[in-house]
A and B are shown apart, each in its own frame.
Chain A
Amino acid sequence: MTGSTGTVPGTGTAPVQDTVAQAARTPDARQPFRELGLKDDEYERIREILGRRPSDAELAMYSVMWSEHCSYKSSKVHLRYFGETTTEAMRSVMLAGIGENAGVVDIGDGWAVTFKVESHNHPSYVEPYQGAATGVGGIVRDILAMGARPVAVMDQLRFGPADAPDSQRVVPGVVAGVGGYGNSLGLPNIGGEVVFDPSYAGNPLVNAACIGVLRAADMYTAHASGAGNKVILYGSRTGLDGIGGVSVLASESFASGSGGDRKKLPSVQVGDPFAEKVLIECTLEIFRAGIVVGIQDLGGAGLSCATSELAAAGDGGMAVDLDRVPLRASGMTAAEILSSESQERMCAVVEPDKVDAFLAVCAKWEVEADVIGEVTDTGRLVITHHGEVVVDVPPRTVAHWGPVYERPVERPDFQDALRDNGSGSLARPAAGELPALILRMAASPNLCSRAWITDQYDRYVRGNTVLAQPADAGIVRVSDDVPGGPGDPDRPLSRRGLAMSTDCNSRYTLLDPYTGAQLALAEAYRNVATTGAVPLAVTDCLNFGSPEDPGVMWQFQQAVRGLADGCVELGIPVTGGNVSFYNQTGATAILPTPVVGVLGVIDDVTRRTVPGIGHDTGESLLLLGTTRDELDGSEWASVVHGHLGGVPPRVDLAAERLLAQILLAGSRDGMISAAHDLSEGGLAQALVEMCLVGDTGARVVLPDGDGPADPFVALFSESSARVLVAVPRTEELRFTEMCTARRQPWAKVGVVDAASRTLDIQGVGELSLPELREAWTGTLPALFG
């Protein structure tokens, strides 16, 4: 990457490396900072900080750490809004928040949970399998670094049109990568999202989430304290893979710039899930043994990030000798070693008298480990290579002094025209066309069964999965302990479970980013409550176009404000998040995609609510919530008319809160036998899915909306704050009286009919379960084999 910029001629064939001394001697040497993604003023700032030009190795460190991906330089000023709006009451469940590797939430009984979503978008376009695989690997290490055992993963995927030629390359590769890595790690995949839209054709989104569980007392944070403590690098060797990934790949859009003369080498990392599985068990044993001060995972920006962040979070400095870093390739320069993104590596700070014990655990798991340096009291990060000082910097300037931009923010001109182009002008189907429309919608790529994807993911491993796809939220039991098993005093018997759902409708978000982000939050919140879990905390992964586009920055600012304000209204905090910018092809940005993840807790997992009907003989179907004529931005408008315009469905967070309380009370008291959230595709899709997942028929009578009864609106409107529940006949009166007493709008819309094997909608038509199943399940296998 960095050519030798030193001007001193080499002696013989010995490699010349640029050192700190050399940098001081040759202040005017030209450096390839632009190729590394640094702007002119950023480079000048580095020179100011150091009082000289940076060495090659220092330049590599600053360039990766000051990249958009690592420094959040464009988003920081907006993200502050989360902190400003979080109240003390919201903060009370948080043990650690933004700034740590992942937020940590107290879930009671001495247990804590850490969870996070992260993007790996650009690498997954270049190399779908490895990009997706290492995305999973990276988020799992983030969770592990908090001292938590990773217990589940999820994936949030967005692709170009399902039938686009490039989707044949990207979709199977990404799915196989998510599965190949997660399955081999032994982590159940408990849910996620898959969305197809033309805006992602040249820039798919691959977000991955991980949930980890720990005893609240055992939380670790990444810091390097105590002069004399040793710095240990352990895990895989450091190689030439992924170099420059952060600065070049993650922070610039593809085919950007008018010059077109910059050659961007694919620099996607290669994952080895076996190495990571061993690393997980080794690291957890190290935590259990209490022989570590702090641990940091090596992800984007590799050792540059780990050393500077550990040192910056500690109380002094750090000395590192790169000659002690085990390498995969010979002749690597200091800059290459520091910016390599080789996977499956961790960095630990260990007290000197515990180093032997630490190395013994690593030896047991056959994990390579080497002491590469120590904590100092110099206040500086000093790195040597071949006996020469190649880095000598204040660590905070690398880790935290990255530039902060107040990017221009401007509501795009097209926003008004978009708003005025509602779906009202679109031709609506006649009543006789509705059965065919239900089938067509159920078979459309965004609504059809995800089984082709999720059947490539292990949802069973570790034996604690209580709900997974196609449930509204995934649920895992917290404790490994089993009823009747020998009680381990450190792990009390518990039926406690964790629920998580992630959502985002980027079509709504384009129409109105503030409302769109709130609708994403509302849906994830509703999904968690639908399974019977209490929503507790929020994480996000904000995928947007170029921050240099004022219109994109407006979308970003609006989405952040919408999400933060929504969290205040729901009373749950954002505990952490991730920002991914530059998701665009040429000048065209993706639809703004703020993926919102909501974590919930359920006291007793045996009380979880399933999505399929037919578990109880004699169930009534009740629609909770209010249906309005809201079809702007809907799946119907997209599938039938290829239309996107108007205003998204109204968001009503007070209604969402009430609905969640009703669902929780209903599941706790055994009044609900099944439930499914209404979202894309409306009531029609919810009915289809509840019947097919439960393999049971139903007879439906459509309710009146707030206007004249219109079966099309009743079936396909996407009004929010609605859930379809199945209630045992014996509980129906009690449940509806509770709804009425608490002013929860409800309407009886039918009964489960176990004998019929059809979905019979009065006045619309009858659809047999086999024909519905064929429509719903046939699409993805037909496209992707």
Chain B
Amino acid sequence: MTATAPASGGPRIGVITFPGTLDDVDAARAVRYAGAEPVSLWHADADLRGVDAVVVPGGFSYGDYLRAGAIAAQAPVMRSVIDAARGGLPVLGICNGFQVLCEAGLLPGALVRNSGLKFVCRDQWLRVENTSSPWTTRYEPGAEILVPLKNAEGRYVADRSVLDELEGEGRVLFRYIGGGTADGPVPDTGNPNGALRDIAGICSADGRVAALMPHPEHAIDPLTGPTDDGLGIFLSVLDGLGVAA
């Protein structure tokens, strides 16, 4: 996939920074690579500055005090994001952002400590299970993508009824299928953290709020990531914005 040059007056995508957010510079870079203008959103400011979509990036917002994402979910900017999401604003949560969206009630379930009890950083194969969400339209159905994964609390859990509902409605966006360490591939350890039903990412009922634990913003250039497979997520949402505009 190719990046298009940024056009002034083109789509603007907000990237939220909480105290302790770490991957905001990376999310902003991915937005730029995809051809949109990144707009910084500050946790204490409820103004979304008229953005066309929002990325809640990775990190350890508020030091993961209380529970990962719990305090960030109460921030002024998140109250605006929750309202806007109900009105159809596309929202993407990555890693800690996934945790924040769950804590904010925009997505069901929770992320708990990895089954191995350790922080895991590795290149992770994912299968794209649903290509109709605004964040996944650029992928072929069943596409397999390789993106970095890095977290200590990435194990997706939810009640059986919730899991069944997610599966039934096609709301499982990404599933873990295999991984590799820095020293080469590890073919037989698909699920890195014990996530139920190998779930790596899900979306809301309308598909517009999406989140995943792995980091697509770190797979936008083979120079600094394992692939550029992650760029498709950002290009997808821009396609949708283009149609809507």
Contact B29 A480 (CB under 8 A): yes
Contact A468 B182 (CB under 8 A): yes
| A480 touching B25 in the complex, CB below 8 Å, given contacts A274-B60, A274-B62 | yes
**B157 lies within 8 A of chain A by Cβ:** no
> Measured between alpha carbons, how far is A366 from B118 in the docked complex, in Å?
30
Q: Closest approach, in angstroms, between the C-beta of B179 and any C-beta of chain A?
A: 10
- Among B37, B150, B184, the residue within 8 A (CB) of A458 is B150
| A486 touching B6 in the complex, CB below 8 Å, given contacts A186-B23, A451-B182, A462-B25 | yes
What residue of chain A has the Cβ atom nearest to residue B20's Cβ? A274
| A278 touching B23 in the complex, CB below 8 Å, given contacts A183-B150, A456-B119, A693-B183 | no
> Measured between alpha carbons, how far is A464 from B29 in the docked complex, in Å?
11
Contact A366 B121 (CB under 8 A): no
What residue of chain A has the Cβ atom nearest to residue B58's Cβ? A461
Contact B63 A273 (CB under 8 A): yes
Contact A482 B121 (CB under 8 A): no
| A484 touching B33 in the complex, CB below 8 Å, given contacts A186-B23, A461-B26, A463-B25 | yes
- Among A176, A186, A275, the residue within 8 A (CB) of B118 is A176
Contact A274 B19 (CB under 8 A): yes
The residues of A that contact B23 with a CB separation of less than 8 Å are 186, 461
What residue of chain A has the Cβ atom nearest to residue B59's Cβ? A186
Q: Closest approach, in angstroms, between the C-beta of A568 and any C-beta of chain B?
A: 36
> Measured between alpha carbons, how far is A613 from B121 in the docked complex, in Å?
23
Interface size class of B (residues with CB under 8 A): 35 or more
What residue of chain B has the Cβ atom nearest to residue A281's Cβ? B19
| A274 touching B63 in the complex, CB below 8 Å, given contacts A451-B182, A773-B184 | yes
The residues of B that contact A275 with a CB separation of less than 8 Å are 63
**A642 lies within 8 A of chain B by Cβ:** no
Flag A590-618 by CB within 8 Å of B: 1 or 0 each.
Answer: 00000000000000011000001000000
| A456 touching B121 in the complex, CB below 8 Å, given contacts A186-B23, A484-B6 | yes
**A585 lies within 8 A of chain B by Cβ:** no
- Stretch from B84-92, B161-169, B198-206, B215-223 contacting the other chain: B215-223
What residue of chain B has the Cβ atom nearest to residue A365's Cβ? B19
**A272 lies within 8 A of chain B by Cβ:** yes
**B70 lies within 8 A of chain A by Cβ:** no
Contact B150 A461 (CB under 8 A): yes
**B142 lies within 8 A of chain A by Cβ:** no
The residues of B that contact A480 with a CB separation of less than 8 Å are 25, 29
Flag A742-785 by CB within 8 Å of B: 1 or 0 each.
Answer: 00000000000000000000000000000001001100000000
Contact A605 B25 (CB under 8 A): no
Q: Interface residues of A, CB < 8 Å — how many?
A: 50
Q: Closest approach, in angstroms, between the C-beta of A760 and any C-beta of chain B?
A: 19
- The residue among B29, B37, B183 with the most chain A CB atoms within 10 A of its own CB is B183
- Among A273, A455, A461, A484, the residue within 8 A (CB) of B182 is A455
The residues of A that contact B224 with a CB separation of less than 8 Å are 460, 463-466, 477
Q: Closest approach, in angstroms, between the C-beta of A683 and any C-beta of chain B?
A: 19
Q: Closest approach, in angstroms, between the C-beta of B9 and any C-beta of chain A?
A: 13
Contact B29 A482 (CB under 8 A): yes
**B122 lies within 8 A of chain A by Cβ:** yes
The residues of B that contact A462 with a CB separation of less than 8 Å are 22, 25-26
Q: Closest approach, in angstroms, between the C-beta of A531 and any C-beta of chain B?
A: 14
Residues in B186-242 with C-beta less than 8 Å from chain A: 215, 217-218, 220, 223-225
The residues of B that contact A229 with a CB separation of less than 8 Å are none
- Among A186, A277, A485, the residue within 8 A (CB) of B6 is A485
| A366 touching B150 in the complex, CB below 8 Å, given contacts A183-B119, A463-B29 | no
Contact A455 B122 (CB under 8 A): yes
| A463 touching B26 in the complex, CB below 8 Å, given contacts A176-B118, A456-B120, A482-B32 | yes
The residues of A that contact B58 with a CB separation of less than 8 Å are 461
**B110 lies within 8 A of chain A by Cβ:** no
Q: Closest approach, in angstroms, between the C-beta of B97 and any C-beta of chain A?
A: 14
Residues in B136-151 with C-beta less than 8 Å from chain A: 148, 150
**A676 lies within 8 A of chain B by Cβ:** no
Flag B1-28 by CB within 8 Å of A: 1 or 0 each.
Answer: 0010110000000000001101101100
The residues of B that contact A777 with a CB separation of less than 8 Å are 181, 183-184
The residues of A that contact B225 with a CB separation of less than 8 Å are 460, 463
The residues of B that contact A776 with a CB separation of less than 8 Å are 183
The residues of A that contact B76 with a CB separation of less than 8 Å are none
Q: Closest approach, in angstroms, between the C-beta of B31 and any C-beta of chain A?
A: 10
Contact A470 B183 (CB under 8 A): yes
What residue of chain B has the Cβ atom nearest to residue A278's Cβ? B19
> Measured between alpha carbons, how far is A278 from B230 in the docked complex, in Å?
28
**A180 lies within 8 A of chain B by Cβ:** yes
The residues of A that contact B33 with a CB separation of less than 8 Å are 482, 484-485
What residue of chain A has the Cβ atom nearest to residue B26's Cβ? A463
What residue of chain A has the Cβ atom nearest to residue B8's Cβ? A486
> Measured between alpha carbons, how far is A606 from B223 in the docked complex, in Å?
7
**A543 lies within 8 A of chain B by Cβ:** no
What residue of chain B has the Cβ atom nearest to residue A612's Cβ? B184
> Measured between alpha carbons, how far is A48 from B184 in the docked complex, in Å?
64
| A460 touching B223 in the complex, CB below 8 Å, given contacts A274-B19, A274-B63, A693-B184 | no
Contact A273 B150 (CB under 8 A): no
> Measured between alpha carbons, how far is A458 from B183 in the docked complex, in Å?
14
What residue of chain A has the Cβ atom nearest to residue B218's Cβ? A460
Flag A443-470 by CB within 8 Å of B: 1 or 0 each.
Answer: 0000001110011111111111110111
Flag A143-175 by CB within 8 Å of B: 1 or 0 each.
Answer: 000000000000000000000000000000000
The residues of B that contact A485 with a CB separation of less than 8 Å are 6, 29, 32-33
> Measured between alpha carbons, how far is A617 from B122 in the docked complex, in Å?
26
The residues of B that contact A449 with a CB separation of less than 8 Å are 181, 183
Contact A469 B182 (CB under 8 A): yes
**A315 lies within 8 A of chain B by Cβ:** no
Q: A183-B150, A456-B120, A460-B215 are in contact. List 13 more A-B contacts (CB 8 A).
A: A180-B119, A183-B152, A185-B22, A186-B23, A451-B181, A454-B181, A455-B121, A455-B181, A456-B118, A457-B119, A460-B121, A463-B26, A470-B182
**A-B CB contact pairs (8 Å), 16 listed:** A183-B152, A274-B64, A365-B19, A449-B183, A455-B121, A455-B181, A456-B119, A456-B120, A460-B150, A463-B220, A463-B224, A477-B223, A482-B29, A485-B6, A486-B37, A777-B181
Interface residues of A (CB under 8 A from B): 176, 179-180, 183-186, 272-275, 277-278, 365-366, 449-451, 454-466, 468-470, 477, 480, 482, 484-486, 605-606, 612, 692-695, 773, 776-777
Interface residues of B (CB under 8 A from A): 3, 5-6, 19-20, 22-23, 25-26, 29, 32-33, 37, 58-60, 62-65, 118-122, 148, 150, 152, 181-185, 215, 217-218, 220, 223-225
Rank and list the top 9 A-B pairs by shortest CB-CB distance, nearest first: A274-B63, A186-B22, A451-B181, A463-B26, A460-B218, A451-B183, A485-B32, A449-B183, A184-B60
